[in-house]
Structure 1
Amino acid sequence: MKPLQLLFLVLFTTTISGQDLQPKKEKNLWNNFTYDVGNMFGGVGYAYSRPFHWKGNDWANFGYLTGGTLLLFTVDDELNRWKNGFDQDVPDLIMDYGNKYGAPENNYMLTGGVYLAGLFTKNEKLRRTGVLLISSATAGGFLQQVSKRIIGRARPKSGAGSGTYDPFHLDRVYDYDSFPSGHAMLAFSNAYAIAKQFKSPWVKGGLYTVGMIPGLVRVLDDFHWFSDVAFSTVLSIFIVESIDRYLDSKYNEKYNNKRPKDVSWNLSFGPNRVGVSVNF
């Protein structure tokens, strides 16, 4: 054998042996946990960075959301007086559920429980769902806390009108922290993320309905105006969708991989209608 051929054989054998000897990262509990935590933070950052990548339809939806919220601002006082006619007829069970479920401590008990169940059972789909839930709650929760301090909108229970503001406080000023609604945002984020697990429109609709209860209860209890809850509910959809797309590149399990490519959420507002529609 010629020296050049011998050298090539040695190098080829060494390369193959080196590749075989390279240790593969073991998928143990700790590695899965650290990987998921990294994706939680990555999902939050991805959601916050999306406005820098928006295109025509994205900016149109943002414009609809802004315009629709401003439109609701003009009728918040009337809607608040209207709901006073039946707020006492709502069962205590629903009121208690609405006020307690959307609270951050209870929200993270649920989302953390879903994630830990997936982690310990080694179910990647459930792990991903937990990551989506926690990331969405964190992104929405931090955003609404900062917004409350900047906007400083009066709550209905303060006795002031819907157009009363005390903005720009580093510390939270109670009764002037109405916009947006944290309960509505956290509760509907969970409902929307969990509904992604199911194909049935009836199941999805049921989950959406349950997810909207905390926001509506907060309106009935004079903690929020209707526009606070409507804005927060729609914003939670945008947050979950953006983080879910980020997680598509991080996990093999994709429960939305059969979603049509041209699916789109659209907001619609008019003199006699306010709504969110999905086209597919």
Structure 2
Amino acid sequence: MIVHSLYSPIFVGNKFSLYPVRYFLYCWLFVALSHLCGAQTPLNTPRKDTAIAIGPRAAWDNRCADSLREKGCPDEAGDTDSLVQYKLNGAFFKSIFSDAEYVVTRPAHWQGRDFRNLGIVMGTTGALLLADREIKRIVQRNQHPVINSVANIVEPFGNRYSPYIMAGMYVAGAAIKDPGLKNAALLTFKSYAISTSLYLLTKSMIRRNRPAYTNNSLDFHPPFSSDRYHTSFPSGHTLTVMTLATAVSEAYGQQHRWIPWVAYSIAGLTGVSRIYHNRHWSSDVWIGASLGYFVTRSVFKNNRVKKRTGLQVVWR
């Protein structure tokens, strides 16, 4: 019997083992996070707990809120200094509802580019729906021990690791007195709460059978039915890890260009692992990723608007 540990060789006999690689990966992520915390500069904060008085400028910035790229408006791609700063208190939890309202009502304010992106998402979804069965057949016929090991490593980033990473970000920020890292953790949690709520509502309405139980990719039950097998659409693992990846990229991507590459790569591999393990159809994964990305981008965008327009009290 072979006991896998940190000292296990990469090759055991003639078989490839990824157990040591898993530990090295975790160590690398820990070092990267430590470097990130050390490199992050504190955010600018107001001197006291008051709302920012804008006066006549509020009308101008309110126009910009729905069209941040309109000529003469501030650019959307701000750094972390442009985010509202929160504390873990009642005011923060109340702000989740205002952000949720913003996310739900965003389609009413969409413009040309937004509808183009929606067309891309829906068109890709339709194509994947038609190809789901064939994708499943190809993937299940090409199982390999190495790919299986990689899938086992990245899949827990979906539901198992992500909540701990969020909590770890907050605890690390408190430990090293980095308000930026704490605030990023709170915004990530807020995005996670909103995206998960929309995910649960969608899953209860669209009752699609999982690929592990059928070869019919168009097997749907009526909305709100209680069959535990028809819970495939969308992918919760992918939504969770994409929410985390997008939040980290929004908070730190401007200062550290490598973060979005790493975060989105892990998120993408996690989604693929759900297809590989026959837990979800490819279209489930695509919609889960799209929903997590949209919600998180909207939450960060709304908090930048709040900070810029002074429509929100800044809590310190």
TM surpasses 0.5: yes
Indicate the residue corresponding to 2:234 in structure 1. Answer: 180
Indicate the residue corresponding to 1:158 in structure 2. Answer: 213
What SS class does the counterpart of residue 163 from structure 1 fall into?
coil
Corresponding pairs, count: 224
CA distance in 2 between counterparts of 1:48 and 1:123 reads 31
Structure 1 residues 140 and 25: CA distance shift in structure 2, 3 A:
closer
CA distance in 1 between counterparts of 2:175 and 2:158 reads 26
Percent of residue pairs bearing the same amino acid type? 25
Two-structure CA RMSD over aligned residues (Å): 2.6
Indicate the residue corresponding to 2:281 in structure 1. Answer: 225
The reply on whether 1:206 has 2:262 as its aligned counterpart is yes
Indicate the residue corresponding to 1:275 in structure 2. Answer: none
CA distance in 2 between counterparts of 1:128 and 1:53 reads 27
Indicate the residue corresponding to 1:8 in structure 2. Answer: none
CA distance in 2 between counterparts of 1:179 and 1:168 reads 12
Indicate the residue corresponding to 2:164 in structure 1. Answer: 109
CA contact 2:207–2:223 (8 Å) conserved in 1: yes
Indicate the residue corresponding to 1:39 in structure 2. Answer: 95
CA distance in 1 between counterparts of 2:211 and 2:116 reads 31
Q: Which has the higher contact order (CA 8 A, sep 6+)?
A: 2
Query: What per-residue deviation string (whole Å, max 9, x for no partner) do you get for residues 120-147 of structure 1?
Result: 5543321221122112211221111111
CA distance in 2 between counterparts of 1:46 and 1:76 reads 33
Spell out the pairing of 1:4-15 with structure 2 (5 A cutoff): none
Equivalent in 128, 137, 143 of residue 87 of structure 1: 143
| Off by >6 Å, runs of 4+ in structure 1 | none
TM-score for both structures, normalised by structure 1:
0.71
CA contact 1:158–1:175 (8 Å) conserved in 2: yes
Structure 1 residues 92 and 77: CA distance shift in structure 2, 3 A:
closer
The reply on whether 1:77 has 2:133 as its aligned counterpart is yes
CA contact 1:32–1:119 (8 Å) conserved in 2: no
Equivalent in 121, 129, 134 of residue 65 of structure 1: 121
CA distance in 1 between counterparts of 2:258 and 2:168 reads 25
Deviation of 1:220 after TM superposition, in Å, equals 0.8
Equivalent in 87, 108, 123 of residue 52 of structure 1: 108
Indicate the residue corresponding to 1:193 in structure 2. Answer: 247
Spell out the pairing of 1:108-147 with structure 2 (5 A cutoff): 108-119=163-174, 121-147=176-202
Query: What per-residue deviation string (whole Å, max 9, x for no partner) do you get for residues 3-51 of structure 1?
Result: xxxxxxxxxxxxxxxxxxxxx549xxxx822243333443333222212
Structure 1 residues 87 and 192: CA distance shift in structure 2, 3 A:
farther
Deviation of 1:98 after TM superposition, in Å, equals 3.5
CA distance in 1 between counterparts of 2:225 and 2:175 reads 40
Indicate the residue corresponding to 1:257 in structure 2. Answer: none
Equivalent in 124, 127, 152 of residue 96 of structure 1: 152
Deviation of 1:116 after TM superposition, in Å, equals 3.6
Structure 1 residues 51 and 119: CA distance shift in structure 2, 3 A:
farther
CA distance in 1 between counterparts of 2:249 and 2:143 reads 28
Q: What letter is aligned with 2:228?
A: Y
Q: What letter is aligned with 2:301?
A: R
Greater Rg over alpha carbons, structure: 1
Gaps of 5+ in 2: 1-47, 51-85, 309-316
CA distance in 2 between counterparts of 1:186 and 1:95 reads 16
Structure 1 residues 250 and 119: CA distance shift in structure 2, 3 A:
farther
Query: What per-residue deviation string (whole Å, max 9, x for no partner) do you get for residues 243-265 of structure 1?
Result: 1111214559xxxxxxxxxxxxx
